[in-house]
């Protein structure tokens, strides 16, 4: 199992704004509570208690961001981001408890006809300062929450934005009380409670949706379009997205051509991961590749897929269309020590698979021994190399092939292996080059019976 990565430092922006919010919340909550008690204002005390809940929420947030930024480990495979959702759910519960308490107290004052608060300039000054501080904090937290995709900081930003509404309601209630309306302060307290309840409802809905793995709005469409735009992707069969903290976890089942080799499919996976990150930011893609047949596959490609899936080595696949049916000829390589009946069974099964793919098709399989992977050998003596080079040059003289060079001869247990380079006219077709080189190779094997194999490399003639 991979070792658990070390925990990275908490995002500095998260930590900084959370620490500033703690200090601001504590100061303003204390100021509003003292002034509210001094003048006997239920609305101002309620607002102070609301700020106290915000203080608790901010302290929780400051602790939570230290945990949520930790990477995935052996027990938390998707990271620790959902702890932010749990903390936001706890704050929501506190908000509803507070809103209920304020409503009960305000209703009691209205019913009992409690005396109005003492009006002076001090509570108005405190409330105006509180509005200014909360506007700044809500803006700073909202900006950081968007930059870091932090649900906990987003919840804090909503708290402070609601504080502005609550403080405005308290100012209106105090003003009404000063104008002789005894119910003004209690009515303001009720307004504060309603603001708190509305905030709790909005926060609860967002948090529960995250905990229930609701797909973020538009994320699936963006991820799907990004993956489908990757070269080599045939289509996306299924795609699922969920959020864990700031990270989008995406599960995608993607169709890729079945003719692609494994390394090409791995390259498609890497490009898909990069494409998803470019549109969603922090993203973790689980890419399941499903090989599918494309409409433009050639018969030869389809046969090579069958051979690859069967673990067979084939070459020299030729296909002819006779109108009513196809004829296929294939060279099949098997272990040279294998008994003929076993090799024939392999060829028969291979031919059966081809007929299942194409229907009525004529298949002929030429069975030949598979070349050993690491044959023992040594370089031939210089005189032997010179003799074979001279023979190659003699067989090529006067023909389309010339400039025999880079001749190498190796002695192996099975016989001599000859490699050489040659040149031909740049405009000559590959078929013509192959025919001429093949003629030279056959002549060499006739002249030197110990030569088992000849490998040539044709190059365009120098201009």
Domain boundary among 274, 292, 310: 292
Query: What pLDDT score was predicted for residue 209?
Result: 67
Query: What pLDDT score was predicted for residue 153?
Result: 65
Asked if the structure places residue 4 within a domain, the reply is: no
Q: In the predicted model, what is the mean pLDDT of residues 70-87?
A: 61
Query: What pLDDT score was predicted for residue 348?
Result: 92
Residue 74 has pLDDT above 80, yes or no: no
Neighbours of 434 (CB within 10 A): 12
Query: What pLDDT score was predicted for residue 403?
Result: 93
Residue 5 has pLDDT above 50, yes or no: no
Question: Which element (helix H / strand E) includes 423?
Answer: strand 415-424
Neighbours of 318 (CB within 10 A): 11
CA distance 284 to 249: 5
Residue 355 has pLDDT above 80, yes or no: yes
Q: In terms of domains, do 286 and 307 share one?
A: no
Q: In terms of domains, do 412 and 452 share one?
A: yes
Asked if the structure places residue 1 within a domain, the reply is: no
Domain boundary among 292, 318, 345: 292
Asked if the structure places residue 3 within a domain, the reply is: no
Q: Enter the DSSP assignment of 73.
A: -
Query: What pLDDT score was predicted for residue 150?
Result: 64
In terms of pLDDT, which residue wins out, 109 or 5?
Answer: 109
Q: In terms of domains, do 194 and 246 share one?
A: no
CA distance 156 to 162: 10
CA distance 207 to 82: 10
In terms of pLDDT, which residue wins out, 441 or 196?
Answer: 441
Q: Enter the DSSP assignment of 75.
A: S
Question: Which residues span the domain enclosing 432?
Answer: 377-460
Q: In terms of domains, do 38 and 103 share one?
A: yes
- Angle, to 10 degrees, between the axis of helix 184-211 and the axis of helix 151-178? 170
Asked if the structure places residue 407 within a domain, the reply is: yes
Domain boundary among 369, 400, 417: 369
CA distance 33 to 353: 84
pTM of the predicted model as reported, rounded to 2 decimal places: 0.50
Query: What pLDDT score was predicted for residue 448?
Result: 95
Share of the chain above pLDDT 90, in %: 29
pLDDT tens digits, one per residue of 245-270: 677 888 999 999 888 888 899 999 99
Asked if the structure places residue 114 within a domain, the reply is: yes
Asked if the structure places residue 5 within a domain, the reply is: no
State the CATH number of the domain containing residue 310.
Answer: 3.30.70.1350
Residue 61 has pLDDT above 70, yes or no: no
Residue 167 has pLDDT above 60, yes or no: yes
**Cα dihedral 389→390→391→394 (10° resolution):** 120
State the CATH number of the domain containing residue 45.
Answer: 1.20.1510.10
Pairing mode, strands 377-379 and 402-412: antiparallel
Q: In terms of domains, do 31 and 155 share one?
A: yes
pLDDT tens digits, one per residue of 215-240: 677 888 999 999 999 999 999 999 98
Q: In terms of domains, do 229 and 310 share one?
A: no
Q: In terms of domains, do 207 and 324 share one?
A: no
Query: What pLDDT score was predicted for residue 38?
Result: 85
Q: In terms of domains, do 244 and 119 share one?
A: no
Q: In terms of domains, do 199 and 273 share one?
A: no
Asked if the structure places residue 348 within a domain, the reply is: yes
Count how many residues are written for the chain. Answer: 463
Q: In terms of domains, do 359 and 319 share one?
A: yes
Q: In terms of domains, do 133 and 281 share one?
A: no
Asked if the structure places residue 7 within a domain, the reply is: no
Residue 4 has pLDDT above 50, yes or no: no
Q: In the predicted model, what is the mean pLDDT of residues 173-179?
A: 82
Return the structure tokens found at 63: 């602790």
Quick check: 169 and 43 in contact, CB under 8 A? yes
pLDDT tens digits, one per residue of 13-31: 656 666 676 777 788 788 8
Question: What's the chain's average pLDDT?
Answer: 81
**What Rg, from alpha-carbon coordinates, does the chain have?**
40
Domain count, the chain: 4
Q: In terms of domains, do 256 and 348 share one?
A: no
Q: In the predicted model, what is the mean pLDDT of residues 301-329?
A: 87
Quick check: 280 and 220 in contact, CB under 8 A? no
């Amino acid at each position: 199992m991979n070792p658990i990565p070390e925990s990275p430092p908490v995002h500095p922006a998260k930590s900084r704004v959370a620490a500033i919010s703690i200090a601001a919340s504590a100061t303003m909550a204390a100021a509003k509570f003292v002034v509210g008690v001094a003048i006997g204002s239920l609305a101002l005390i309620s607002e102070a208690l609301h700020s106290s809940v915000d203080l608790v929420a901010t302290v929780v947030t400051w602790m939570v961001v230290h945990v949520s930024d930790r990477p995935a480990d052996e027990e938390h495979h998707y990271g620790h981001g959902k702890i932010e959702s749990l903390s936001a759910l706890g704050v929501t519960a506190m908000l509803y408890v507070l809103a209920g308490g304020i409503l009960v107290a305000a209703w009691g004052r209205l019913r009992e006809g409690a005396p109005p608060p003492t009006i002076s300039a001090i509570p108005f000054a405190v409330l105006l300062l509180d509005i200014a501080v909360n506007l700044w904090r809500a803006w700073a937290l909202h900006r950081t929450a968007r930059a870091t995709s932090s649900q906990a900081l987003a919840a804090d930003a909503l708290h402070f934005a609601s504080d502005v509404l609550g403080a405005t309601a308290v100012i209106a209630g105090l003003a009404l009380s000063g104008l002789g309306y005894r119910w003004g302060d209690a009515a303001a307290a009720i307004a504060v409670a309603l603001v708190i309840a509305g905030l709790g409802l909005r926060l609860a809905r967002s948090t529960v949706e995250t905990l229930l793995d609701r797909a973020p709005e538009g994320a699936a469409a963006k991820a799907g379009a990004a993956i489908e735009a990757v070269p080599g992707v045939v289509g996306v069969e299924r795609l699922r997205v969920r959020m864990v903290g700031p990270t989008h976890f995406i599960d995608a089942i993607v169709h890729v051509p079945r003719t692609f080799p494994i390394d090409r499919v791995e390259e498609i996976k890497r490009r898909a991961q990069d494409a998803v990150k470019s549109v969603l930011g922090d993203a973790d893609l689980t890419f399941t590749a499903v090989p599918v047949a494309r409409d433009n596959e050639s018969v030869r490609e389809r046969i090579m897929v069958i051979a690859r899936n069967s673990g067979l080595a084939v070459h020299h696949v030729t296909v002819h269309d006779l109108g009513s049916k196809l004829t296929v000829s294939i060279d099949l390589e098997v272990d040279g020590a294998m008994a003929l009946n076993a090799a024939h069974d392999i060829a028969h099964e291979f031919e059966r698979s081809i007929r299942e793919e194409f229907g009525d098709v004529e298949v002929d399989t030429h069975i030949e021994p598979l070349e050993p992977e690491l044959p023992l050998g040594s370089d031939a003596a210089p005189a032997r190399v010179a003799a074979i080079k001279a023979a190659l040059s003699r067989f090529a003289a006067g023909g389309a092939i010339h400039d025999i060079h880079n001749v190498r001869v190796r002695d192996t247990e099975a016989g001599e292996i000859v490699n050489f380079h040659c040149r031909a006219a740049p405009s000559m077709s590959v078929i013509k080059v192959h025919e001429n080189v093949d003629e030279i190779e056959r002549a060499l094997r006739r002249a030197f019976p110990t030569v088992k194999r000849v490998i040539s490399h044709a190059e365009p003639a120098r201009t």
